[in-house]
Chain A
Amino acid sequence: MRNADADRAGGSTEAVFRARGVTKVYDMGEVRVHALRGVDLDLYPGELVVLLGPSGSGKSTLLNILGGLDTATGGTVEYRGKELTRATDRELTEYRRRHVGFVFQFYNLIPSLTSLENVSVVTDIAAEPMRPEEALALVGLADRRNHFPAQLSGGEQQRVAIARAVAKRPSVLLCDEPTGALDAATGIVVLEVLERINRELGTTTALITHNADIAGMADRVVRVGSGVIQSVERNERKKSPREMRW
């Protein structure tokens, strides 16, 4: 909450993230894959941004770099004035631990831990977390707390992953297709959770999706294509998740 307050105090002009000329090249020996070809992007405090784009356009790559999970090949990324692209491993670890909540595209739960424990793994080291049970309840999985990932459906695993991301009350929330495996009803529940966190805690949120409808709940919609930002639109009126069609 301290972070959220700070975000507001900083004023809406001061960007939380400033990405300039970010490139990412995967060197695979004979082939070099240019996943990002010079991305400029600012994310502002408390806003909810949706990233849209075709498969393979570089959305996950960009989000990973913002979250400090991956390093850029070129360009700079600043988080509140601190350059992530120059941070040491230790500083990046500290950054992820204190500020970032991440939902991975492939959930990445720890198979030997139950749902509840998968959440506790994060709250154990967070400063002011929710209780893990509370986080699970938010995504409607309170009664599955003692099940292992292998005993959950794909969508349930995805919801555990979301509970895990929000449980630490992060200052930024980065979600890679958080509703990809969910039906309309569950998807809406999850999106409501994300929206509430964004609204109540002022968490800066970036959300990747293939569903253009979901874009309606964003403050801004960023379209990514072939490794560059193609357009940024501001929504005049934010839809609430309940108004969405799947």
Chain B
Amino acid sequence: MKTLRTKLFRDLWGMKGQALAIAMVIVSGVATYVISVSTLDSLRETRAAFYRDYRFAELFVSLKRAPESVAESARAIPGVDRVETRVAAWANLDVPGFPEPIRGLVVSVPDAGEPAMNALHLRAGRNVAPGRDDEVVASEAFAQAHRLRPGDRIGAVIHGKRKALRLVGIGLSPEHVYEVGPGAVFPDPKRYGVLWMGRKALAAGYGMEGAFNDLCATLAPGASRQDAIDRLDALLSPYGGLGAYARDDQVSHRYLTEEFRQLGTLAEIFPVIFLGVAAFLLNVVVGRLVSLQRDQVGILKAFGYPNAAIGMHYVKLIVLIVLVGVAGGIGVGAWLGRGMTRMYMAFYRFPYLHYELRASVAATAALVSVASAVVGALQAVRKAARMTPAEAMRPEPPGRFRVTLVERLGLRRILSQPARMIARNVARRPVKSALSMLGIGFACAILMLGNVQEDAVGFMVDTQFRLAQREDMTVVFVEPASARALSELRSLPGVRHGEPYRTVPARLRFGHRSYRTAVQGFPRDGGVLHRVLDTRLQPVAMPREGILMTDYLAERLGLRTGDRVTVEFLEGSRPIRDVPVAGLVGEYFGVNAYMDLYALNRLLGEGNAISGAFLSADREDRQGVYDALKEMPGVAGTVVREDAIRSFYDSMGGTLLLFTFVITLLAGSVAFGVVYNSARIALSERSRELASLRVLGFTRGEISYILLGELGVLTLAAIPLGFLIAQGITAYIAERMKSDLYRVPMVMEWSSYGFAAAVVIVAALLSGLLVRRRLDRLDLVAVLKTKE
């Protein structure tokens, strides 16, 4: 069968352009899969290694203040393995040359020796020297954002006292991989930073000598987590404990897990779609390629080649093409995957990178591609082999003649002869036409998927920051304060408007489900600045009684309007109250519960306390307001709205949008591959017929019009189909991506539709041009001389 091998390589060479286009689609499909899965694997692996190497704690609890001796009792709790006490303080930071307020979290490190858990990974400089009260190690994100180096100085207001600090090191901690300020959803390293300071020095500045206000613990193997949490809570509640929680509720870990879950969803959906489209295309293209050779199948059969040998011949041909694609896809995927992982490393703070591409991932990609191609090829071979050789060697009948729509609608008179041929060709081979359309439709759909993510993000930011959070800045008090504090803020020069708010950490319980969040209180008459919106973007007034919550939270707790939810407040006297759910609000960010400010205070039994205020100020007055706020001892920090928007885009820009860009690029090559293949196959299938038409006196233009017109009609029909497919997929992604961090709404801008349509049309034009060149060179004599 040496000659068959010759035929194999010659056929392959003869269709090299098309083989390349097919390989390109496979490269894209496989690369998407490899990128997605390897990035996710690498991130998970890296996180696990970091947690292990730097002893990430398993239980966390903040409290008001407890004497150090309480730590012994904590250690004695069954199930608790090791315990570390710390002092943690909120601070206002001052970086020379940066005018805006910066919130800082200052965490103590042991004066001697390594911390038992949550160890620091030093990137530069050194640890804080024992006994030095002005030295700090800064988190890398914060240091990088301000270009701080060991030796630089920064100012801090801790507990109302101003202190000059010297940066001696830059570090990373497993506790702050995702370094995000309280209440924020995205990291903003310019305006939020973590500092580590010697225990003695911080305690002295914070009035915590011989005491602690933060405790971490690890669990003994096999211990009950819930039991340990309950006992810790019982132990610490006399000391103002805010409720112990496990890693699942630890901010950095929770956000990471959530992000990984979403990334995992994308890593599942996109490759399935891409590989699916590639597989579908392969199946169709390969089927049609083999069908083109059905007379050769007949000849080989006539000479006594067994079906298995003929099948093998085509399988080899196809597998060769596919393997080139798979190898390319794995290469490109590994390269881009490594790049993506590196980008994520910069976004999340990990000390090192473990890029991991499992062999099973590569094997799966290869298997899916090869299998779908082989199935497509075998289907076609089987179809040809089932016929008697005599039948297979005859040209395929053009299908039963049917009175097509053209005739029925009387379009005969309107359409020119070539136009009628186009219409008839499309209508007479409905399955083939439908498959071509579906292929191009899918290509169009995946082109939209990337952009749709961007659209949704833009829409979320717009509603959140231009309609809901319209304050210029949010002031956070150190402790709940009286209404007098608000008047003080309002009277600051430059402040135009001020609204109070209250926020109380709480655990909401309904049945056996619970969720830890904060209940926020706003004045009932509704604010001008900070508003709660429903899904139709209308402001919602606070109910006189009861609680409002994000619909997603209600879904998680499994409750409906009218149900009574148990609120366990984690502040003050920690009352537990049953509150009716007065309504639900549809929000894209976070998971929130809202009450009327006075009703909330009544529940807490605390008079008219507020936790802070939303302020507005004219742009030129803002600097003065920031400066004044920095001097106020009761103010723990200030969050500036515009910065929040910017930080959102900065972080989104780095990750989601990069993914989007890569996806769009790959989608583009898929689109081109699909369209080009459709055109080329149509050309091969029809070249004989078209050459005959040329001989009968049709011009080049006319036969091009017949072939490319058909491609054009199918492409134009496929675009709206692609839009529909994209909507379906987007709705599915939105549903799967829902998390308590954010819910991506289904928003599709006109520009996304336009972009996808444009790429498909350009791909069609380009393919048309390439095919047109071949049509012009159609060798009439050669085509008519061979075969039949």
Contact = CB atoms under 8 A, between A and B. Distances in A.
A156 to B, nearest CB: 11
B299 interface: yes
Nearest to A123: B3
Interface residues of B, number: 33
A150 B10 contact: no
Given A117-B3, A150-B785, A71 B304 contact: no
A102 interface: yes
Given A112-B14, A121-B300, A124-B4, A29 B787 contact: no
Nearest to A152: B785
B301 A93 contact: yes
B302 A89 contact: no
Nearest to B11: A112
A30 to B, nearest CB: 9
B390 interface: yes
Interface string B373-390: 000000000000000111
Interface string A72-111: 0000000000000000011001111110101010101111
B305 A125 contact: yes
Contacts of A110: 7, 296, 299
B388 A70 contact: yes
B2 A89 contact: no
B41 interface: no
Interface in B1-27: 1-4, 6-7, 10-11, 14
A33 to B, nearest CB: 13
Nearest to B397: A28
Interface in A114-138: 117, 120-122, 124-125
Contacts of A109: 786
A117 B3 CA distance: 6
B787 A117 contact: no
A101 to B, nearest CB: 9
Contact of A112 (B10, B390, B782): B10
Given A89-B307, A154-B785, A108 B7 contact: no
Contact of A93 (B4, B305, B787): B305
B138 to A, nearest CB: 69
B393 interface: yes
Given A70-B388, A96-B302, A96-B304, A121 B785 contact: no
A150 B388 CA distance: 26
Contacts of B302: 67, 69, 96, 102, 104, 108
A94 B308 CA distance: 13
A111 B688 CA distance: 14
Contact of A104 (B7, B14, B305, B393): B393
B512 interface: no
A64 B4 contact: no
A41 interface: no
Contact of A29 (B390, B393, B400): B400
Contacts of B72: none
B299 A69 contact: no
A120 B306 contact: no
A67 B305 CA distance: 14
Nearest to A120: B3
B525 interface: no
A113 interface: yes
A63 B733 CA distance: 62
Given A104-B393, A106-B788, A112 B7 contact: yes
Interface in A146-173: 149-150, 154, 157
B710 interface: no
A132 B786 CA distance: 21
Nearest to A94: B304
A120 B295 contact: no
Interface in B658-690: none
Contacts of B306: 90, 93
Contacts of A113: 3, 6-7, 10
B613 to A, nearest CB: 81
Interface in B287-303: 295-296, 298-303
- Bin the interface of chain A by size: 20 to 34
B391 interface: yes
A98 B779 CA distance: 38
Contacts of A124: 1-4
Contacts of A70: 388-391
Interface string A25-54: 000010000000000000000000000000
A70 B10 CA distance: 30
Contacts of B11: 112
A121 B4 contact: yes
Nearest to A154: B785
Contacts of B788: 106
A173 B543 CA distance: 98
B295 A97 contact: no
Given A90-B306, A93-B301, A150 B2 contact: no
Interface in B379-412: 388-391, 393, 400
Contacts of B389: 69-70, 96
B551 to A, nearest CB: 60
A70 B296 CA distance: 16
Contacts of B7: 110, 112-113, 117, 121
A93 B3 CA distance: 19
A125 B302 CA distance: 12
Contacts of A97: 303-305
Contacts of B300: 121
A100 B390 CA distance: 14
A168 to B, nearest CB: 8
A124 B309 CA distance: 13
Given A64-B390, A70-B390, A93 B307 contact: yes
A110 B4 CA distance: 11
A56 B786 CA distance: 23
Contacts of B307: 89, 93
A102 B299 CA distance: 10
Contacts of B3: 113, 117, 120-121, 124
A108 B299 contact: yes
B387 to A, nearest CB: 10
Contact of B786 (A89, A120, A125, A149): A149
Contacts of A104: 302, 393
Contacts of A108: 295, 298-299, 302, 393, 787
A92 to B, nearest CB: 9
A59 B7 CA distance: 32
Contacts of B391: 70
Given A117-B7, A121-B3, A106 B787 contact: yes
Contacts of A89: 307
Contacts of B295: 108
25 contacts: A29-B400, A64-B390, A70-B388, A70-B390, A70-B391, A89-B307, A96-B304, A97-B303, A97-B305, A102-B302, A108-B295, A108-B298, A108-B393, A109-B786, A110-B296, A110-B299, A112-B11, A113-B10, A117-B3, A120-B2, A121-B4, A124-B1, A150-B782, A150-B786, A154-B785
Interface of A: 29, 64, 67, 69-71, 89-90, 93-98, 100, 102, 104, 106, 108-113, 117, 120-122, 124-125, 149-150, 154, 157
A-B pairs with the 6 shortest C-beta distances?
A97-B304, A70-B390, A96-B304, A120-B3, A69-B390, A69-B389
Interface of B: 1-4, 6-7, 10-11, 14, 295-296, 298-307, 388-391, 393, 400, 779, 782, 785-788
Given A93-B306, A108-B787, A113-B3, 4 more contacts: A96-B303, A106-B788, A112-B14, A117-B6
